[in-house]
Structure 1
Amino acid sequence: MVTRLTPDDASFLELESSSSPVHIGSLAIADNTSGALTYENLVDIVSQRLCLVPRYRQKVRQVPFGLARPVWVDDADFDVSYHIRRSALPNPGTDEQLFELVARLSSRPLDTSRPLWEIYLVEGLSDNRVAIFTKSHSALVDGADALEIGHVILDASRQPQELADDLWMPMDGPTESALAMTAVAELLTNPGQGMEFLRRTAGGVGETARTVERSLSRFVSALHTATRATPSSPLNTDISHHRRFAAARTNLADYRKIRARFGCTINDAILTVLTGALRNWLFSRGEPITESSTVRALVPMSVYVSESAADQSSEVSSFLVDLPVGEPNPVIRLSHVSHANAAHGRQRRGVRARTLVRLSGFAPASLHAMSVRSAFEYAERAFNLMITNAPGPQSPMFIAGARMLEMYPVSPLLKNQALSIGLTSYDGSVFYGFHADRDAMADVDLISTMLYESLEELLDACA
C-alpha cells in the first residue's frame, strides 16, 4: 500500500542531519539465565509480530522533482535479518561497556534506503543478562497508526503469545511516472499542496515543513514563558555526531513516599530530583548560580487514558517549566516545581493519539516517540533540554521468555541540545536514560551519580 508521509513525518526526514539523527532508542536488559532469548528466537518473535507494525516493512520513496511529500512503499527486498543484528561484549560485560556500545550505535543514522529501524541483541553481559537496543526513526512512529517495535515484542507471561502465520507479500510500488502524475493531480486539485511545493522549491528543503511549526512555536513559547528569555546554559551548544549514554535506576516507592509527605505528584518529585542533580552538576562545572537561576525544560509527556474501553485514547501534552536550580532547599524546589506543573495543567495543549495496545499494554517506547514529535513544535532555543516521561506496567514483562529487568529510553538530541533525558517507570522502579553529546557532555556520568544524591536529599527532608 502506498501512503504519503504526513507533513510531520516528512519534516523529521528533512530536518535530520548527520549530527542530529532523530531516531527513538530504547534499551532493555533481560535475565537470560534460561537461555531462552537467542538471536534465532528474537528473529522469530519480531517476524511473527511485524504484522502489528506494518510500516516496519515499508521504506520511504521520494517523488520525482520534489513535487509532493515522499510516500511509504513496501520494501520488495525486505530482509528481517538485516534489521535484527547481533553484538557481544567481552564476557563478563559491564553496564559501562554496554552504555558505551549504545552511545556508538545511537550515533549512527539509519539507512534511508531501507525501512527505518534496527534491533541489536547484545550478548556477553555479566550475570547471564542480555540487552536489546532498538532504533526507530521518528518519522516511522506516530503512536497512533504506527507503533514502536518494542511495543509489540514484549509479553506479560514467560510463554510468548502465538499469532497466526503472517503471509505477507509486498505490493508492487508505483512507477516514477505514476508518482509524478499523482503529485501533479494533487497540485491541481489542492491549492495548499501547490503552495507547499512553491515554498519548498523557493525556500529550500525543510522550509515548508517548518513554516507552520514556527508560527505555532512562537505562540506556544510566548504563552508558556511569558516573554522571558531562555536561561543561558552549557546544555545549549553546537553538537557533534558522537554520543554518550548514562543511566540511573531508582525505586518508585521513594517517589511515592515523597508524594505522600508533601502532597505533590510523582512527576513533581521526579522533576525536583532532576533539578537537584542538574544544580550539583552546574556547580561541578563552576557555572555561576544565583538563587534565581533556572534551567528551562521541555516536558512533553502527560498521558491520559480514556475510561471508555472502546476509545483507548491518550493525550501527549507539551509545556515548558523552569527548574529552580538556584534554590538550595529541596523542599522549596519541590514547591516551585509543583506549582509550575499545576499552572501548566490548566492551560495544556495536547496532541490526540490512539494507543493501540495490541499484546501486552506496554507502551513507553511509543509514548516517548510521541513526546519527541511533540517537542518539534517548539522553536529552537526555546528551552535548555528535553525530559520525556512515559509510564510502564508495574508487573514483570518478558522478551521471548526472558524476564525484562530494566528499560531505559534513549531520546534523540535536538538541534543545539547537548542533553536529552528520558525516564520510564516499570515493575517498581524508575529508569533514567541520559543521552548526551560526546564532546559537550564528557561528564554526563556525573549527572546520573548526582541524581542519587538529589533523591536522598529529598527523602531526608521527608523525615
Structure 2
Amino acid sequence: MARATRLTTQDASFYFLDESNTPMHLGSLAILQLPKSGLDFDAVLRLIESRLHLVPRYRQKVREVAHGLARPVWVDDPDFDITYHVRRSALPSPGSDDQLHDLVARLTSRPLDTSRPLWEMYVVEGLAGNRCALYTKSHSALVDGEQALEISQVILDEDEVPPPMADDLWIPEPAPGEPALVAAALAQVVSQPREGVETLRMTLRDMTSLVDGTTEALGKLVAMMRTATQSAPSSPLNTPISRSRRFAVARTELERYRKIRARYGCSINDAVLTVVTGALRTWLLSRGEPVSEATALRALVPMSISEARPGTKGRSVVDVCGADEAGQPHGRTSSFLVDLPVGEPNPVVRLSHVAHATEAFARQSQQVTAQTMIRLSGFAPASLHARGARAASSLSQRMFNLMVANAPGPQIPLYLAGMRMVEMYPLSPLLKNQTLSIGLTSYDGYVHYGLNADRDAMPDVDVVAASLQESLEELVDVSG
C-alpha cells in the first residue's frame, strides 16, 4: 500500500477541535531589516523551498478516512504549490506597526484550507523604516514541538549568507486509495479495540471524551500545582468569543529583568510573570472591574526549566529566558498553573507571591527532557509554544483564565535570506471562552510579547500591551 502516516491522538484532537471561532493555528511575526538593495522575494521563496525537506509534514495534507473508521492520515500533497503557501503582501507605504498588527489580526482570523498542507506564510512589504515582516501560521496538528518542527526553526540562520543546501528533488508518494484506507482502519479496529472506541468518539465529535484520553498522553508534560483542582476565578477574560482577532505587541529589554533577578534572587521568569500581573491589574482597573487585594487570575504557564545552578541551593530554576549566551535554552520543559496576584498594589509583594508559587512548582514538577529544542539555527521558541498549546488544550478551560506561553530564544542575531531579524513576536491560539493569550520570546537582548485577543470581547488589548512596559518600569523603579 502507498505510504500514509496516521495522525496521533493529540494531532487528531487539534484537527477536529478547529472551529471557525477557535482556529487552532500557531503564529509568529518576524520583523526584518531590509538591505539597501531591498527585498528579494524570489530569494526568500527559494530559501524556504530548499528547507522544506527538513519539515516534511509541510508538504503533506490531512486525509480523513471514510465514515470516521479511524483517525485521519498524513499523505503527500501531489499538487503542492509553494507559491500558494508563501504569499506576498504589502502595506500602503510607509506602513505603520499598527497597520501591520491589524493585518496580522485579519490573517490570524482566517482558518487554514484543510484540503492543502496546513500552513501559510506572508512576506509583508511597505513597512516604514526600511523593514519588511514575515507572518507565519501553522496548524497545531502540524507541529508537535518535539518531532514535527515549526518552519521558523529551519529557515533562520546564524550567518547573514545562508549556507548552501543540497538539492532537494521531492517526488510525492502516491496516496493510498479509499479501499486501502478503509481496510487498514477495519484491521486496526479488530486488533486494537480500544483505539476503535476512541475513533468512534472522535467521529461523534465527543471532544470531551477525546480530550480526557489526550490528558493522559500529555501527563508527562503538564505538572500542576494543587490549584489545578479548583475552578479559575471569575474574570472578563472568559466569555464567548467571535471569529475575529486583535493583535498587539510589546518589546522590553532583557537586561532589566536580569537586574530584577540580581536584586531579589528570583528567576527571570518570576520577573516576567510579575510584569504580566501588573499589566493585567492596570487593564482590570481601566475597565472599572472590582479589584481587591485578594483578586487573582490563574494562568497556565508552559516554560523552560533549567537544572539547578550555583547559588540556587539545589533548587531547579524556572526561567523563561534561561538561555545561555550562545542562545541554548536549558534542557527541560514543563507547564503549571499559577495564580497571578492582580489585586496586590505593591509590585515587590507581587513578585514575592509569584516567586513563591514557581518555587513550589519547581519542587513538585515532573520535568520532560527537550531533545529537539535546538535545530539548525537554534531558534526553538516555536516548539515550546506548540507544547504550550497542547498542554492548554488538554485541560478544562475552567481551570485557568489565560495562557502565558514563555519560550527562550537565542541571544545572537538571526537572518532570513540575508535580512537580519530584529524582532520576533509569537502568537498563541485562543481556546473556547478565552479572550486573551499571551506569548513571549526572548531574542537578541529583548523580550518580545505577542498578545492574541478576541476582537469583540477585548477591543482594549492595546491597554495590556502598553501596560507591560509600565509594569516593568514600576518594578525596576521600586528595585532601585
Fold in common (TM above 0.5)? yes
* Structure 2 equivalent of residue 389 of structure 1: 406
* Residues 27, 138 of structure 2: 8 Å contact kept: yes
Q: Deviations over 1:324-353 (max 9, x none)?
A: 001111100000000001101112234555
The one of 20, 39, 57 equivalent to 1:55 is 57
Task: Give the gaps of 5 or more residues in structure 2.
Answer: 309-328
The change in CA–CA distance for 1:304 and 1:165 in structure 2 (over 3 A counts) is farther
Task: Give the gaps of 5 or more residues in structure 1.
Answer: 307-311
Q: Deviations over 1:251-298 (max 9, x none)?
A: 000000000001100000000011011101100000001101001001
The change in CA–CA distance for 1:6 and 1:283 in structure 2 (over 3 A counts) is same
The one of 244, 260, 263 equivalent to 1:242 is 244
**Deviation of residue 200 (structure 1)?**
3.8
Question: What TM-score, normalized by structure 1, do the two folds share?
Answer: 0.95
Matches for 1:249-268 after TM superposition, within 5 Å: 249-268=251-270
Question: What TM-score, normalized by structure 2, do the two folds share?
Answer: 0.91
The change in CA–CA distance for 1:216 and 1:69 in structure 2 (over 3 A counts) is closer
Mapped partners of 1:350, 1:299: distance in 2: 14
**Deviation of residue 357 (structure 1)?**
3.4
* Structure 1 equivalent of residue 358 of structure 2: 341
**Deviation of residue 366 (structure 1)?**
2.1
Mapped partners of 1:172, 1:12: distance in 2: 25
**Deviation of residue 198 (structure 1)?**
3.9
**Deviation of residue 222 (structure 1)?**
8.1
Identify which range, 128-137 or 359-368, moves more after superposition: 359-368
Amino acid in structure 1 at the alignment position of 2:210: A
Matches for 1:32-111 after TM superposition, within 5 Å: 32-35=34-37, 37-111=39-113
Identity %: 60
The one of 303, 308, 312 equivalent to 1:301 is 303
Mapped partners of 1:386, 1:434: distance in 2: 10
**Deviation of residue 302 (structure 1)?**
2.1
The change in CA–CA distance for 1:182 and 1:136 in structure 2 (over 3 A counts) is same
* Structure 2 equivalent of residue 288 of structure 1: 290
The change in CA–CA distance for 1:216 and 1:134 in structure 2 (over 3 A counts) is closer
* Structure 2 equivalent of residue 175 of structure 1: 177
The change in CA–CA distance for 1:304 and 1:110 in structure 2 (over 3 A counts) is farther
Matches for 1:45-444 after TM superposition, within 5 Å: 45-201=47-203, 203-213=204-214, 224-225=226-227, 227-304=229-306, 314-355=331-372, 357-444=374-461
The change in CA–CA distance for 1:181 and 1:227 in structure 2 (over 3 A counts) is closer
**Deviation of residue 314 (structure 1)?**
4.5
* Residues 407, 431 of structure 1: 8 Å contact kept: yes
The change in CA–CA distance for 1:35 and 1:11 in structure 2 (over 3 A counts) is farther
The one of 448, 452, 459 equivalent to 2:465 is 448
**Deviation of residue 67 (structure 1)?**
0.6
The change in CA–CA distance for 1:422 and 1:70 in structure 2 (over 3 A counts) is same
Q: Deviations over 1:31-62 (max 9, x none)?
A: 00334642211110110000000000000000
Amino acid in structure 1 at the alignment position of 2:212: T
Mapped partners of 1:68, 1:13: distance in 2: 14
* Structure 2 equivalent of residue 309 of structure 1: none
**Deviation of residue 227 (structure 1)?**
4.0
The change in CA–CA distance for 1:35 and 1:358 in structure 2 (over 3 A counts) is farther
Mapped partners of 2:277, 2:196: distance in 1: 47
Identify which range, 349-358 or 246-255, moves more after superposition: 349-358
- Cα RMSD (Å): 2.2
* Residues 316, 352 of structure 1: 8 Å contact kept: yes
Mapped partners of 2:240, 2:61: distance in 1: 31
Identify which range, 101-110 or 203-212, moves more after superposition: 203-212
**Deviation of residue 300 (structure 1)?**
1.5
Mapped partners of 1:55, 1:180: distance in 2: 23
SS at match of 1:346: helix
Mapped partners of 2:373, 2:427: distance in 1: 22
The change in CA–CA distance for 1:38 and 1:385 in structure 2 (over 3 A counts) is same
Mapped partners of 1:193, 1:261: distance in 2: 53
Mapped partners of 1:96, 1:69: distance in 2: 41
**Deviation of residue 216 (structure 1)?**
8.5
Identify which range, 293-302 or 352-361, moves more after superposition: 352-361
Identify which range, 353-362 or 450-459, moves more after superposition: 353-362
The one of 6, 9, 12 equivalent to 1:7 is 9
* Residues 45, 400 of structure 1: 8 Å contact kept: yes
* Residues 123, 132 of structure 2: 8 Å contact kept: yes
